Amino acid sequence: MKILLHICCGPCAVYPVEVLRQAGHEVEGFFYNPNIHPYQEFRRRMDTLEEYAGMVDLPVRWDQSYDLEEFLRQVVYREEQRCGLCYRMRLQRAARAAREGGFEAFTSTLLYSRHQQHELICRTAAAAGAEMGITFHYEDFRRGWQEGVAKSKELGLYRQPYCGCIFSERDRYARPAGRRNKARPES
């Protein structure tokens, strides 16, 4: 099958690309991630995917638009629903790109991460596929989490420390109130 693989970052693509190719699928990547913040992180992830794609001869379709404003418009006042809104935004674009590109199906590296909401991704991708008239190819890539991490480290790929959005960056780096340095006065 000819499959378009939505890719959030290079390291997350390592295992899914291998598995899909081993199954005999023709795989092409698709980069569209307007949620990533700040812009330097967006560029670093894009550059890392380009580096990885070159290593494994993976063709990639690039949507380099950095539509942060659209992402923020989607989630403002709905921050608790941000992941679902982000999944929908990216998976709808991937489904459209797959249909327009003549692919038989699409899938996403979001299905690789143990930190993402797997069932919500599946429901969102299936709905996007139905809406765009393209098959969503489901595969649980999480079983290869450790293998993908090890291989991405062997390849020397930049591994990002948070999901990508401004909220996940905050959640990763902001210290919980109980763990603040007591020597520093609260402001």
The values of phi and psi at residue 71, to 5°, are -60, -45
The response to whether 83 counts as a known ligand-binding position is yes
In angstroms, the CA 134 to CA 87 distance is 17
Q: Within a 10 A sphere around the Cβ of 114, how many other Cβ atoms?
A: 10
Q: Are 27 and 17 in contact (CB under 8 A)?
A: yes
9 is in an annotated binding site: yes
**Residue 8 is assigned to a ligand binding site:** yes
- Using a 10 angstrom Cβ sphere, with 0-12 exposed, 13-18 middle and 19 or more buried, the burial of residue 163 is buried
Distance, in Å, from the CA atom of 8 to the CA atom of 79, rounded to the nearest integer, reads 20
Residues near 88 by Cβ (< 8 Å), separated by ≥ 6? 124, 127, 128
Is 12 a known ligand-binding residue?
Answer: no
Considering only CA atoms, which of 96, 95, 145, 156 is closest in space to residue 116?
A: 145
Bind-site residues: 8-9, 83, 86
Bind-site residues for [4Fe-4S] cluster: 8-9, 83, 86
